[in-house]
Amino acid sequence: MSGAANPTPPLAPPLAALLELTHRCPLQCPYCSNPIELERAKGELSTDEWRRVLDEAAELGVLQVHFSGGEPTVRRDLPELVAHARRIGLYSNLITSGVTLDRARLAVLAQAGLDHAQLSIQDVDHQTAAHIANHPGVQGKKLAFARWVREIGLPLTINAVVNRHNVTRVERMIDLAVELGAVRVEVAHVQYYGWALRNRAALMPTLEQVQEATQRVEAARARLRGQIVIDYVVPDYYARQPKSCMGGWGRQFLNITPSGEVLPCHAAQTIPGLVFDSVRHKPLAEIWASSAAFEAYRGTDWMPEPCRSCDQREVDWGGCRCQALAITGSAAAADPACALSPAHQEMRSLAEAASAAPAPDFVYRRMTPQETPAKVAAATR
Ligand code: SF4
Ligand code: FES
């Protein structure tokens, strides 16, 4: 693959911002996208600080904000933040585990101007769901939450995270989303960063399981056309082409941690040497335009071969930096999901070996780190 370099286009504003209001969460999913070292409540931005961040995001040109976590509903000021987003014209989405709110508190959020709710599920099987979340009775609470969302009149997306424990039930998870009245279901194979990387062997399905799941998703798409939108996030370890992670580093998206650090993606803190600016010290627009962490892998100038001369470099933007780091030890390498990466076969072999062995116990997501990030990186490489 080859192609001539294009002039760099002017920097557009981010389309969306993921606001991690807190890392506190009642669930302990072993594939959580939060970092291994979770932030404590005492370091979280205050209500006033989050309001200012929303103002700055709107001024910058952000269109959508995703209130996320941890579990964002453990912040008692969430209705105020939702109302503020509505006042300044931001579309707001709540990304939730669905186990903390009752119907009345959900109604308050809807009244404050919430536009959309996104509910994650661990499985259709109640016992496996409780095991994955390490939370007895989790499925019953989620089903009740989904009902309330629809009764109150909010649009609902179901996010089903696929791993070796539930991969045979993808079709039933899609059918559940239809039953719950969701407008969209995202069937997403686990992405192996942070906690999921630590739990890779416990989560990785076999190639045959993945192929069967993919066929079942395709069949469901044909069967349910016009009833529900089905998004499918493929498993990188069995892919031949990388995904355009985040739509390209620093191109469409930013992520703000509970204490206000601004990241190009949720796993960016795993990359050694990157320094992240905080909304506590700099305006969001300045961070977006010129922060060292955003500049590090923005565009194509940083790319080594094979990406540098590849005609896909402005399509997938070299894939995922965090995955390149996790497998090759270098965040600047081509994503090993790409068949042109020298580490492509190594990544496939890691997946095959992990999925062929019996699944080890989960290392559940907890506030107290069980291992340091450096030890985790060494253990999972
Ligand atoms: Fe090309 Fe790099 Fe994308 Fe592979 S990861 S298709 S080499 S730009
Ligand atoms: Fe960080 Fe893909 S998750 S670039």
Helix (H) or strand (E) holding 161: strand 156-162
pLDDT of residue 234: 85
User: Which is more confidently placed, 284 or 5?
Assistant: 284
Angle between helix 78-87 and helix 47-60 axes, rounded to 10 deg: 30
How many other C-beta atoms lie within 10 A of the C-beta of residue 77? 14
Task: Identify which of 343, 266, 253, 260 has the alpha carbon closest to the alpha carbon of residue 63.
Answer: 253
Residue (of 146, 144, 127, 125) closest to 136 by Cα position? 127
In angstroms, what is the span from residue 75 Cα to ligand 2's centroid?
27
Q: What's the pLDDT tens digit per position in 127-180?
A: 999 999 999 999 999 999 999 999 999 999 999 999 999 999 999 999 999 999
Q: Is the pLDDT of residue 343 over 90?
A: yes
Nearest ligand 2 atom to alpha carbon 321:
4
* Cα–Cα nearest to 319, from 212, 186, 191, 190: 191
Q: How confident is the model at residue 125 (pLDDT cuts 50, 70, 90)?
A: very high
Q: Is the pLDDT of residue 377 over 50?
A: no
User: 268 CA to middle of ligand 2, Å?
Assistant: 6
- pLDDT of the residue at 8: 60
Residue 4 has pLDDT above 70, yes or no: no
Mutational pocket test of ligand 2: of 245, 253, 257, 317, the residue with most ligand atoms within 8 Å of the beta carbon: 245
DSSP 118: E
Q: Whose C-alpha lies nearest to ligand 1, atom 7? A: 307
The pair of structure tokens assigned to 356 is: 């062929």
**What are the φ/ψ torsions at residue 164 (nearest 5 degrees)?**
-65, -20
Q: Is 322 in the pocket of ligand 2 (CB under 6 A)?
A: yes
**Complete DSSP assignment for 225-285:** TTT-EEEEE--GGG-SS---GGGSTTTSEEEE-TT-BEESSTTGGGSTT----BTTTS-HH
Question: Does residue 289 register a pLDDT over 70?
Answer: yes
| Predicted confidence band of residue 321 (pLDDT cuts 50, 70, 90) | very high
| Model pLDDT for residues 72-109, shown as the tens digit of each residue | 999 999 999 999 999 999 999 999 999 999 999 999 99
Q: Which residues pair with 230 in a beta bridge?
A: 185
- Tell me how far the alpha carbon of residue 294 lies from the centroid of ligand 1, in angstroms: 20
Average pLDDT over residues 33-41: 93
- Our measurement of the distance from residue 52's CA atom to the centroid of its chain's CA atoms, rounded to an integer in Å, reads 24
Query: Collapsing DSSP states into helix, strand and coil, what is residue 29?
Result: coil
**Percentage above 90 pLDDT, the chain:** 93
- Angle between the N-to-C axes of helices 78-87 and 103-112, in degrees from 0 to 180, rounded to the nearest 10: 20
Average pLDDT over residues 54-75: 97
Helix (H) or strand (E) holding 347: helix 344-356
pLDDT tier at 338 (50, 70, 90 boundaries)?
A: very high
For residue 251 the two structure tokens come to 């191109």
pLDDT, residue 7, reads: 57
CA of 170 to the centre of ligand 1 (A): 29
Residue 186 backbone phi and psi in degrees, to 5 = -105, 115
* pLDDT confidence of residue 64: 98
Residue 6 banded pLDDT, cuts 50, 70, 90: low
CA 229/CA 231 separation, integer angstroms = 7
Q: Is the dihedral of CA 269, 272, 278, 282 positive or negative?
A: negative
For 92, phi then psi, to 5°, come to -120, 135
Cα–Cα distance for residue pair 278/257, rounded to 1 Å: 9
Position 9 pLDDT exceeds 50? yes
Q: How much is the pLDDT for 22?
A: 97
Question: What rounded mean pLDDT belongs to the chain?
Answer: 94
Amino acid identity, position 325: L
The closest ligand to the CA of 312 turns out to be: 1
pLDDT the model gives residue 10: 79
Q: Is the CB of 213 inside a 6 Å radius of any atom of ligand 2?
A: no
Q: Is the pLDDT of residue 364 over 60?
A: yes
What's the pLDDT tens digit per position in 221-269? 999 999 999 999 988 999 999 999 999 999 999 999 999 999 999 999 9
